[in-house]
Each structure stands twice: as C-alpha cells, then as structure tokens.
Chains A and B, each alone.
Chain A
C-alpha cells in the first residue's frame, strides 16, 4: 500500500510538471553542472555504427561486448540516442553523420568539425571507408557476370549510385557523372540478364548499402539476380582473390570491406579495388554542454568508465 501511494504521488508530480515543463527548460539552460555524472549512450552490439565508433576511438573490444563498457550505460537506437540527447544535458552518444541535426551538438573529433566536406577531404577522423574489391579479369563464372560487375562498379561512381548511398546514411564520394551518360559503354545492360546471378559478399556493415545499390541497379542492367551473403570485411579479399577460397562455394564476384585494405589485400591491382563511400560517425551531446571537441582518448575514457563526471574531461 505504501509503495502504491508513493507511485501515485510520483505520477501526480509528473503530471503537474507538464504545466511548468516549458519554464524548467529555460531555467536549466543557464547552468551546466560539471560535477554531474556522464550518462553514456550506446547502440546495441549488433549495430554497424557501434562497430565503426568503437574501432574509431580505439576501443574495438567494446564493438561486440557490453561487459567492457562503463556500468550503467543506456542502450538506444539511432533515433533514440538523437532524441534523448536533446533532453539529457549530461549524456554522450553517437550517431551517423547523416542524422545529425540542430537539436543536439555534434562534437569535433580531434579538432576537426563533423561536416560532410571534412569527411570527403579526409580530415575528419571518426569514420571508416566502404571499399569494394573484384576478382581477376577472366576469373568470373561467365563473361556476362564480369561485364555486369564492371557496369556495377561504374554505377558506384555515378551520382545515381551516390544518391542511393547517401539515402542509406553513408557519404558517397562526390561525382557529377550520371548513369545515363555512361550506360552506352556497358552493352551488357541492354540484354536480358534474368538468368545471370552475381554474388556479393564481404562486410556485413555494408550489407544494407550494398543491397540498396543492387536493388536500384538490377532494373538498370537487364534484371540480373543479386545474391548477397555478407560475412565480414576480411572475406572481401578472401572470397574474391584468395586462391584457396575464391573458387569454393562461398566464392564471390564483388567483395565489400568496411575498413581500408591492408597487407596481402593490397597485392590486388588497384584497378580491381576502390572506395565507394565513407561511413562517418559523430559523438553528440546536449546543446547546453560547453564541450565542443573530443579526442579519441576522451571518448574511450568516457565509454570505459575512466572519466565518470564531465569535470574529468575539462581537466
């Protein structure tokens, strides 16, 4: 009964606050209390944005594990983090650059402001590239597949492809070419390709972008069939160019990676690999927060619990 009463009292107080909600906001804008705890917001472990963010701040083990994060973190989705950060003065979260708006403050990362221009000129650091890789010429199941793959890569570099990439929240590399102006170079797209299957694979973070791209490209290129099987960035190289794997049942015609190529992957001639987009992530705080810039180390310390109050960051 006592509990019931206290719940009632709380509800009544809550309701009475609706009336003075506006006033409370204007009062609270004046002061930011640095001794308050940092409320850490994160996406859940299945999120590609979380992987990108954690790897970007040098805290890769937190990409798939909640146990290494600070106690009492809050899990929300992209929109949830965005809307909560407009309310929670002492929160820190991260969202993809495309969803940043003026209800929250996007922090500069290592001194560089989070803008699309800074991502494209490669100065903003909290980002990862979306890369593609192809098989060797003549190493495709058929000439049609090879031609479609070449046409697809050309499509990635057009503004039509760029629009689709941007719609998925990534940032396409700038281009002024349209598909209509280059499609004459790709005769394969005029014929009916309904019986041709092209296999796409590699990074699962790129899967949504890749599927949107193939879905848009299929009708432009004779309705070929796109088969998506995304297993991880390392498989972009292994399943297209590693002699031990590329010809097995998991072999792919196009592989995607959500990180720069490295080591043996760089032995693949530059003409057969490239970048299609950037995936940029922004650390965000409430508009009242005086913080404007963070470093990778700051963010890591906030997410692993080394910094527990906002005063820790200033000092």
Chain B
C-alpha cells in the first residue's frame, strides 16, 4: 500500500512541477480563478475516470462510457425540450446511464463475453441510437431552457456546481471503495477471482455492479456535458473513452485489475487536464499535447511494470520482514 501511495505522491508532484513550469512564464496560470477553471474543465473526465477505474479494478474495461455519455446527454436535451423539469431530468439520465451500464454488465456476467468486446459493441449501438432518435439533428443552445444550461455553471462558494459534483463523487467513491463490502469485493475480484469465489463473492455480480456504477456516472456526465457546452449531437465526446482509460492508466490503476485508488484516477485525470489547459497558454501546438499525453501513458505503464517486478518471489528471510 505504501508503494501505491508513493506512486500517487509522485504523480501529484509531476502535476505541481508541470504547473510550476507554466507559471514561470505565465504567472496568470496559477491564479486561483484559473486553477479552479482547469479543475472545472476536467470534472467530466474525473467523473468518468472514477467509474472506469472501478470497472478496471474488476479486470474489465468499459469502452462505451463516452457513447453512454452522448446518449444520456441527448436524452437530457430532448427531455428538456419536452418541458420535463430539471429535477426529473437529472435522476432520469443517471438511471438511464445505469441501465445502459447494466446491459454491459449483464452481457459480461451472464454470457461471459470479454468486456472489451461487449463495450466495443454497445459503444456503437449507443451512438447509433442517438442518430435513430434524432435523425442526426443537433439540439442547440436556443432550444435549451436557461435553468437546464445554468445548473453546472452556478457558482457556489467560489466553485461551479459541476466542480462540486466531481468533488462529492470523489469523496463518495473513496468511501465506497475503502469502507464498504462492495468496494472490497471489487479489489478481491480483480486481484484473484478464484480466491474471491472461495471467499463467497459472486465475481460476475461484482463486475455487473462496476458497470452499473460506470454507466450511472456516464449518465450524469452526459447531462453536465450537454448543459455546459449547450449543444447535443451524435458525436459529442467522440473518442473521449480513450482519455478516460488514459487517465486511469496514468493514475496507476493496474490494467490487469485489483490495484488502484480513486485518488490515483483523479490525479491521472488532472494530469491530462493540466496538460490540455496549459499547453495552449504556453503556445505549444495541440499535436504536442497528444505526444505528451502519450508519453505520460507509456511512462506510467513502465513505472508500474518495474514496480511490480521488484516484488517477485521473496526467498530471503531478511527480505520477508520488509
């Protein structure tokens, strides 16, 4: 556990160094208002990364998150257009997202299909459904009510509601993962599914739960995304699932399952968020952004690999006590 913690500390340090380097040339970047802005901008990524991290913990992967987000966002926009009050839209899209996640979960649990195949399929189905629902039409800002668009931007105690939601979810899922029986079973299932069976844990049902959580979070993020950018169409958040997986990998979530923390996923997301917001300020082309994100992923994976190699068979008695 101490290794994990130091890995997260290292990542936090990398983020601080990054911010420091940018601040050296553009002091305005570190003004609290701007940092709050960066955090707010990264909030959807953080929310999705938390869900993805739980799925990855159980040895699965959810490639359908961005498509789920787009579908739920479109449904939110359409509900709004039909005059449904926001107090119903919000729980509605979270529920819809959870149901879409449950579809993934059932296919993985009951049919035993590898999750990468299942979610690759549902990803396309979800995007296709948006097209079927709208005929490819956009829902634009002027077709959305003011209240619908205002919620994520409403500032409470110096931060927009969207940021507060991300913070609340970070706290909530930290508690779920460290302090609940369900959270513990996510780790056990991913680390050693055989042993989990023997301990009375239903592996498939636990993976199902992970997909439902990931889906529900994607549903919420769908509303936030559409309301914030005030536009909904088939291709919103296209390819965003890869950013989400990248955030998890950079955050030290073991792709083979069983290891990782909410803090790690959040830091991974923030790392990508800072790069995305800082590089244009420094005047570096967006292609460099991609190269830097890519390098960060490779570095993170290399780092994880070397760390897990260090602990192999402990043969020496003296090493055992460490």
Q: Do A and B bind each other?
A: no
Which residues of B line the A interface, CB within 8 A?
A: none
Which residues of A line the B interface, CB within 8 A?
A: none
